[in-house]
Amino acid sequence: MTDSSTTSVRPVESTDETRWRELFRGYREFYHLPESEDIVSRVWGWLMDSAHECQGLVAEADGRIVAIADFRRFSRPSTGTVGIWLDDLFTDSQARGAGSGRALITRLQEIAADEGRSVVRWITADDNAAAQVLYDRVGTKTNWLTYDAQPQGS
């Protein structure tokens, strides 16, 4: 468990569902993604399925969940290693700047070290300047660009 002043980090539990859903909806809204309870439920199901690659952490302050992180391991063929990919990181707007995001990333770094992983990696929106202040402190900005392509039938 990681502690950043009064922030503690632990794995997401089934009893966290209501609050996790609130924060995950907030994450989706922040990134202007369409509302979808189907997606929220699907991701929650992944987090509760120990066989699924997606895992979750929560950050608590004063007994309240204030931030979430969803992550998974990924193979890195170019280095022959495995890293941790931070898919989603979201902090309640009223708790931002108090250390919960840093605590979640720190915990992922600890997990990576404990498991012998090579990196903790994530992306953020180019216009998310507030988050980039933290990210510039805890990580190194790479020169890689990300592209998406839609699946196409043959």
CA distance linking residue 37 with residue 25, whole number of Å: 9
Report the sign of the C-alpha dihedral through residues 7, 13, 15, 21, in that order.
Answer: positive
Q: How far are the Cα atoms of 19, 25, 28 from residue 32, in angstroms, in the given order? A: 20, 10, 6
pLDDT in tens, 127-139: 999 999 999 999 9
Class of domain 2-137: alpha beta
- Give pTM, 2 decimals: 0.92
pLDDT in tens, 13-59: 999 999 999 999 999 999 999 999 999 999 999 999 999 999 999 99
